[in-house]
Amino acid sequence: MSERSGLNCVICGVGGQGNVLASRLIAQVLLARDEHVKTAETIGMAQRGGSVASHVRGGHPQSPLVPKGCADCLIAFEPGEAVRCIDYLAPGGTIVVNTQAAQPPVAALQGIDYDGSEALAYLRALPGVQLVEVDGASICEQAGSSKVLNIALLAAAVKSGALGITREELEDAIRERVHPRFHEMNLRAIMLVSE
Amino acid sequence: MPVKLLMGNEALGLGAIHAGVNFVSGYPGTPSTEVLEAVAKHNDGSIHVEWSTNEKAALEAAAGAAYAGARALVTMKQVGLNVASDPLMTLSYIGVEGGLVIVVADDPGPISSQTEQDTRNFAQFAKVPLFDPASPGEAYAMIQDAFELSERHHTPVIVRPTTRVSHACGTVKTRGGVADCGAAFQNPTLDDDDASWERHVPSGFTKDTQRWVVFPRTSYLNHGKVEKRAAAIAEELSFGYRPNRIEMSGMGHAEATCAFAERGDKRFELGIACGGISYHYVMEALEMCGLELPVLKIGTPYPFPAKLATEFLEAVDEVLCVEELDPIIERELNFLCGFEFLANTVHGKLDGYFGYAGEQSVEAICDVLADVADLHNETNVSDQIVSLPKPELPPRPPVLCAGCPHRASFYAVKRAVGKRKAIFCGDIGCYTLGNAAPLDMVDTCLCMGGGITVAQGIETVDPDTLAFGFVGDSTFFASGITGVVNAVYNQHDMIVCILDNSTTAMTGQQPHPGTGRTMMGTEVPPLSIPRILEALGVDCQIVDPLDFEGAVQAVRDAIDKTGVRAIIFKSPCIYLEPPAHPAVKLDLDACIDCRACIKQLGCPALVVEDGHVAVDESLCYGCELCCKICPTDALREGGSDE
């Protein structure tokens, strides 16, 4: 097994949920620490409401993709996508999951009543895994925008300790990479999760 | 900040600027699009940047600029090079004055493409040097080396990133100035002063018919020169060009190269040969497996650095080749074994250790290493994967966005056609997604602009079939017009549906000739699709697809006519404008839960919640198409009853 000390994180969800920004913010934090960073993102056709995953790695990584079984932290915008990407998780890793399901149009068409509950039950039953459940819908409502889901999940991951980064570092990364117009609502989302 | 986090494509764009590029052209295509956008973003106005109508136009224009001594960059995805192959093949013979670099992004997977073609083959075929970067950092340096090599040898040069280089971000040290081939790459400058790069001043075009006009006699002479040029470049790239190297795994760069050089008479049982992103997968896999092996890294698969590869083969018994797509390096090594009478065993795709299709991965390499290196240790990655049985998940393929006007256009055609026998020939773009249930409105999809022409062949063979060809606005300009001309001239009977959303949507909203904007930031008169069609003698209607009844009527009118007729469905991409209307409201008292809306439209904002239809207001764009088809008027315009 690799001796690397750097972070390995996989962020998964549905195209359009703000996945790429989430991975860039973690990368920004590591860059601010003078770490070597690599990320891999899904851009293009798969973005249009399909399953997407971003990978972020610190500490002189070779591959931009996290090998299976090596992610310290899996951040999922949706319970089913967490299950789809579970093979990336390292033993004893942390899963941060938004409990609200995103229903694929295929499910509605085929009359499958997909609400993510089976996926959540599976995640809860996984042995030796730290599971952090986030009520994303409620935080978005309190923060006043559905756009802050990515920041809410990042803040929960920061709080869990799995990313090895601090709230202040995340806030600095937002100030560095996000348009000032959106700073307040994103910082509010962090506050709602952290306190 | 001395170090930047750059996406591979941004690194290529910035590298081109730092190489003094004067002229940049291209056509959008995943995963290449951001290269040209990066140049445009950092352009101080001194570089001409354009989205050309297609890849062929882009390469020809850039060739002209390079004839006149400019440094020129052309960007496209791998299938784009098929379109540009006509000028490329001849340009290899004619050559250039200023450096000409073509960035062609390959897409193993494929993640966003029609084919998994390997551009390294194209380089061999066209006899054009190709650089194969392994990371954003190497891409930044290589594109500068590519310009230098191109200018010195008067040849076009290809730089070929793959998706995991183009769309990966990495920490990159940038610098000013113009790189020297190879030498500068060994010492990436720490300085980040973007202003310090040297501007290149084009010499201007010098007339010389012997040089610039292709004739059979000059081509005969040039053919010989091209072969000599390739041999000279192969020699040059074999030694001293760092992206081509032999190193020992498990060490830092500098000591790794020394460790191999100082091996003495030591032979190794196994060595790895690789290139591109696979190099990093290999290094990680070797680290995970705890193996220290000599690794041959190929940064320029054509012309192949044969002398370096021979040195490697002479030091090892067996070789495992790790690459994506075609076994290019593997074939070269097998060839060298025969040519140089070497007794190595070369493993890879040809003997079945790796498959041809899809991406390479650290996991797959670990598995093969365990086999080849006869490992019996604990490094089997799959052991660590959780073994609890997973719940079944509904598939989540990409779909047309909520509010996408293409959904309304397809649905209007579907309703107007009804039970008539019809064929729907689709094309490349977001609207390819119209193939999914429940729309099911794409019967064929071949290539850019192919929908219009494929329909002509089918209607000729099946004359009782109504033939529809769908094309987007950007694709219409790229290669749809020739198909319409063909239809008119050859008296085909078809309906051309132009889905005009005023942008190149799939690749991220790039401007095109119909938008009135250029990549230089100027406003220009937009080209009019209806006036072009009119000039071709095509009967043409323009409708708003979100005016559902009007759109259906327009299709009915077109069905009643014969010959070539066109309908332009004009409504902007939802990414161009904020929603004009609030989210649709569902009146639960009126809704009979028949789910006609879901079954007919497949909109992501129409969901089932607690066993009943619901509107996901966070996704609904307010296009109100569903309101128009709800049989009980339960779906209503948002805010209408407030």
Nearest residue in A to B249, CA atom: A62
**Residues for chain A: how many in total?**
195
User: What average pLDDT does this structure show over A14-38?
Assistant: 92
Taking CB atoms and an 8 Å limit, are A27 and B5 in contact across chains?
yes
CA distance B181 to chain A (A): 25
List all residues of chain B from 103 to 132 with a beta carbon under 8 Å from chain A: 111-112
Report the alpha-carbon distance of residue A65 to residue A55 in Å, rounded.
6
Q: Is residue A1 part of a domain?
A: no
Taking CB atoms and an 8 Å limit, are A48 and B399 in contact across chains?
yes
Q: Locate B61 and state its tokens.
A: 């224009």
Instruction: Give the per-residue pLDDT at B640.
Output: 59
Query: Residue B303: is the preceding peptide bond cis (ω within 30°)?
Result: yes
Q: Is the pLDDT of residue A87 over 50?
A: yes
**φ/ψ of residue A19, rounded to 5:** -65, -45
Contacts of B573 (CB under 8 A, 6+ apart): B404, B405, B430, B501, B502, B503, B505, B509
Instruction: Give the per-residue pLDDT at B190.
Output: 35
Share of chain B above pLDDT 90, in %: 85
Taking CB atoms and an 8 Å limit, are B607 and A103 in contact across chains?
yes
Report the alpha-carbon distance of residue B94 to residue B218 in Å, rounded.
9
Instruction: Give the per-residue pLDDT at B175.
Output: 66
User: What average pLDDT does this structure show over B126-134?
Assistant: 98
Check if the beta carbon of residue B471 is closer than 8 Å to that of residue B459.
no
Q: Is the pLDDT of residue B188 over 90?
A: no
Taking CB atoms and an 8 Å limit, are B362 and A67 in contact across chains?
yes
Q: Is the pLDDT of residue B263 over 90?
A: no
Q: Is the pLDDT of residue B186 over 60?
A: no
A37-70 burial string, b = 16+ CB within 10 Å, else e? bbbbbbbbbbbbbbbbbbbbbbeebbbbbbbbbb
Q: Locate A63 and state its tokens.
A: 């591959």
Q: Which residues of B touch A50 (CB under 8 A)?
A: 396-399
Instruction: Give the per-residue pLDDT at B5.
Output: 87
Report the alpha-carbon distance of residue B620 to residue B601 in Å, rounded.
13
Q: How many cross-chain Cβ pairs, A to B, lie less than 8 Å apart?
A: 190
Work out the pLDDT band at B359, boundaries 50, 70, 90.
very high
Q: Which residues of B touch A11 (CB under 8 A)?
A: none
Taking CB atoms and an 8 Å limit, are B386 and A39 in contact across chains?
no
Instruction: Give the per-residue pLDDT at B300.
Output: 98
Nearest residue in B to A123, CA atom: B390
B252 Cβ under 8 Å from any chain A Cβ: no
Instruction: Give the per-residue pLDDT at A34.
Output: 87
Nearest alpha-carbon partner for B157 in B175, B140, B145: B145
Q: Which residues of B touch A15 (CB under 8 A)?
A: 398
User: What average pLDDT does this structure show over B28-32?
Assistant: 96
Q: Is the pLDDT of residue A138 over 70?
A: yes
Q: Is residue A3 part of a domain?
A: no
Nearest to B506 among A45, A63, A87 (CB): A45
- What is the span of the domain harbouring residue A133? 8-194
Counting DSSP H helices and E strands in chain B, the numbers are 24, 22
Q: Is B246 helix (H, G, I), strand (E, B) or coil?
A: strand
Instruction: Give the per-residue pLDDT at B100.
Output: 98
CATH of domain B3-237: 3.40.50.970
User: What average pLDDT does this structure show over B606-631?
Assistant: 93
List all residues of chain B from 347 to 386 with a beta carbon under 8 Å from chain A: 361-363, 366, 378-379, 381-386
Q: Which residues of A touch B167 (CB under 8 A)?
A: 40-43
Judge residue B247's burial from the number of C-beta atoms within 10 Å of its C-beta, 0-12 exposed, 13-18 middle, 19 or more buried. Answer: buried
Q: Locate B389 and state its tokens.
A: 């049985």
Q: Is residue A61 part of a domain?
A: yes
Lowest mean pLDDT segment, chosen from A29-33, B82-86, B464-468: A29-33
Instruction: Give the per-residue pLDDT at A1.
Output: 32
Q: Is the domain covering B245-382 a CATH 3.40.50.2000 domain?
A: no
Check if the beta carbon of residue B171 is closer than 8 Å to that of residue B138.
no
Mean model confidence pLDDT for chain B: 92
Fold match between B3-237 and B245-382?
A: yes
Mean model confidence pLDDT for chain A: 92
Q: Which residues of A touch B437 (CB under 8 A)?
A: 106, 109
Element (H, E) at A154: helix A149-160
Report the alpha-carbon distance of residue B249 to residue B291 in Å, rounded.
7
Counting DSSP H helices and E strands in chain A, the numbers are 8, 6
Report the alpha-carbon distance of residue B640 to residue B642 in Å, rounded.
6
Q: Is B86 helix (H, G, I), strand (E, B) or coil?
A: helix
List all residues of chain A from 147 to 176 with a beta carbon under 8 Å from chain B: none
Work out the pLDDT band at B250, boundaries 50, 70, 90.
confident
Query: Residue B31: is the preceding peptide bond cis (ω within 30°)?
Result: yes
Report the alpha-carbon distance of residue B168 to residue A100 in Å, rounded.
29
Work out the pLDDT band at B189, boundaries 50, 70, 90.
very low
Q: Is the domain covering B585-636 a CATH 3.40.50.300 domain?
A: no
Work out the pLDDT band at B382, boundaries 50, 70, 90.
very low
Name the domain count of chain A: 1
**Residues for chain B: how many in total?**
642
Strand partners, A95: A74, A131
Q: Is residue A176 part of a domain?
A: yes
Nearest residue in A to B380, CA atom: A1
Instruction: Give the per-residue pLDDT at B631.
Output: 96
Q: Locate A122 and state its tokens.
A: 């599976």
Report the alpha-carbon distance of residue B78 to residue A116 in Å, rounded.
38
B183 or B589, greater pLDDT: B589
User: What average pLDDT does this structure show over B496-502?
Assistant: 97
Taking CB atoms and an 8 Å limit, are B283 and A40 in contact across chains?
no
Contacts of B424 (CB under 8 A, 6+ apart): B413, B441, B442, B443, B444, B468, B470
B602 Cβ under 8 Å from any chain A Cβ: yes
Instruction: Give the per-residue pLDDT at B183.
Output: 31
Taking CB atoms and an 8 Å limit, are B386 and A15 in contact across chains?
no
Mutation to test the A interface, candidates B393, B433, B608, B612, most A Cβ within 10 Å: B393
Kindly write down the DSSP assignment for every residue of B6-30, as one continuous string: EEHHHHHHHHHHHTT--EEEE---T
- How many other C-beta atoms lie within 10 A of the C-beta of residue B642? 6
A186 Cβ under 8 Å from any chain B Cβ: no
Work out the pLDDT band at B379, boundaries 50, 70, 90.
very low
CA distance A97 to chain B (A): 16
Instruction: Give the per-residue pLDDT at B1.
Output: 36
**φ/ψ of residue B456, rounded to 5:** -65, -40
CA distance A194 to chain B (A): 24
Lowest mean pLDDT segment, chosen from B177-186, B237-246, B376-385: B177-186
Q: Where in B197-261 does DSSP place strands (E)?
A: 245-248
Residue A119's domain is classified under what CATH number? 3.40.920.10
Report the alpha-carbon distance of residue B436 to residue B442 in Å, rounded.
8
Q: Where in chain A does DSSP place strands (E)?
A: 8-14, 38-40, 51-57, 71-76, 89-98, 130-134
Instruction: Give the per-residue pLDDT at B431.
Output: 94
Q: Is the pLDDT of residue B194 over 90?
A: no
CATH of domain B405-570: 3.40.50.970
Q: Is residue A2 part of a domain?
A: no
Cα distances (angstroms) measured from residue B464 to each of B412, B451, B455, B461: 21, 19, 13, 9
Domain assignments of chain B as residue spans, ordered by start: 3-237, 245-382, 405-570, 585-636
Taking CB atoms and an 8 Å limit, are A103 and B602 in contact across chains?
no
Nearest alpha-carbon partner for B502 in B603, B406, B402, B621: B406
Over residues B293-333, the pLDDT tens digits come to: 999 999 999 999 999 999 999 999 999 999 999 999 999 99
Work out the pLDDT band at A107, boundaries 50, 70, 90.
confident
B381 or B266, greater pLDDT: B266
Share of chain B above pLDDT 70, in %: 93
